[in-house]
Amino acid sequence: MTERKENKMGTMPVKKLLITMSLPMMASMLVQALYNIVDSIFVSRISEDALTAVSLAFPIQTLMIAVAGGTGVGVNALLSRSLGEKKFEEADRAANMGFLLMLISYVAFAVFGIFGSRMFFESQVDTSLPNAQEIVSYGTSYLQICLIFSFGIMLEMMLERILQATGKTFFTMITQGVGAVVNIILDPILIFGLCGAPRLGIAGAAAATVVGQIIAMSLAVFFNITKNTDVSLSFRKMKPHGATIGIIYRVGIPSIIMQAIGSVMTYGMNKILAPFSTTAVAVFGVYFKLNSFIFMPVFGLNNGIIPIIAYNYGARKKERIIQTIRFGIAISVSIMFIGMCIFLAIPDKLLLLFDASPEMLKI
C-alpha cells in the first residue's frame, strides 16, 4: 500500500491552519443562515401571516439541522482522529457510517413532514384567531416541501463534514455558495411567478430552498468522489457497524442536544407569544434568524477547530491543541462583540428588511 503524506492539520502553523480551515466553514454557516433569512425577506412581501408561518416552521428546521450537524460533528471528530492515527480503514468506515445515518435521519424527518406538519403548526397557533387557519395552511405547505426533500440539506451537511475532516474546506464554501445563489435567484421567480414561472407563493420559497440544497448536495458528492483522496465512499461499505456508530454519537449527541435546545426554546416561545398576537411571533422569528446570522460564524469556527483538535489528539501533539483552543476563543469573543454592537445600533433598519409593519417595529 502506498504511503499517504502527512495531512496539513499536523504540520501547518496553528493560526494559519485555523484561519484556513475555519473561514470557508464560517462562510458556509453564514450561507446556511442566509437560506432562512432570504426566504423570510421574500415571504414577508406576501403577507405578515406568511412570515409568521415561516417563523413557526423554524423550530423543526433547526432540529433537523441539529441532528445533521451533530451527527456530522461526531463523524468529523472520528474521521480526523483516525487519519491522525493513520488508521485509514477506520476513517473510511466513519465516513460511510455518517452517510448511512443521514439517510436514516432523512426518512424520519420526511415521514414527519408528510403526517405531522399540520399538527405541528396547530400546536403553536391559537386556532380561535381569525387568521389561524391561513397561517396553518401556509406553514403546512412550506414545511412539507422542506422536510420531504430534506435529503438535500442533510446529505449535503454530512458530505461537507467529511470534506472538512480531511482539510478540504474550500470545496464546502463552493457547495454552500452555489446552493445559496440558486436559492436567492429562484425565490422571487417561484414566489411571485416571474419569467413565466407559476406563482407558487410560500410553496415557491420552499421549492427554491430545496432546489438550492439538492444542487449543493450534488456538488458535495462530486467533490468527495473526485477531490477527496483520504476517504472512499461506497454503498457497499455502508453496512451498519455498531462500534463506529456508538463512537460517532458519543461525540455527536451532546452537540445535537446543545443545538436542539434552541429549537425547543423557540417552539416554547412561539406557544407563549401566539395567544398575544401572531405579529409577536413574526417579530420573534425575525429576531431569531438575525441572531443566527451572528452565531453561525462561531459554529463554523467550532467546526474548523474540531478536526484540528481530533487530528492532533490522534497524532499526540498536545501543544497544537492548546494553541488552537486559545486562538479559537479569541476569535469567537470578537465575533459576538461585533454582533452585539450591530444589534444595539440599528435594530429598526434590520427589521425593515422584512417589510416590518408599524406594529412589528413597535414590538
* R_g (Cα) of the chain, nearest Å: 21
Query: Is the confidence at residue 27, as pLDDT, over 80?
Result: no
The pLDDT value recorded for residue 7 is 61
pLDDT tens digits, one per residue of 325-335: 999 999 999 99
Cα dist from 30 to 220, 222, 296, whole Å: 17, 22, 6
**Type and span of the H or E element at 72:** helix 48-84
pLDDT digits (tens, 9 = 90+) for 344-359: 998 888 888 887 777 7
| pLDDT surpassing 70 at residue 213 | yes
Q: Which range is most confident: 90-94, 125-129, 277-281?
A: 90-94
d(CA 269, CA 276): 11
pLDDT digits (tens, 9 = 90+) for 156-174: 999 988 988 887 878 888 8
- With a CB cutoff of 8 Å and minimum separation 6, the contacts of 332 are 298, 301
Q: Are 73 and 251 in contact (CB under 8 A)?
A: yes
Q: Is the pLDDT of residue 94 over 60?
A: yes
Cell 443566527 -> residue: 292
Q: What is the pLDDT of residue 278?
A: 78
The residue with cell 472520528 is 78
What is the separation, in whole angstroms, between the first and last Cα of the chain?
A: 65
* pLDDT tens digits, one per residue of 53-69: 998 998 999 899 889 98
Residue 214: CB atoms within 10 A of its CB come to 18
How far is 41 from 296, CA to CA, in rounded Å?
Answer: 18
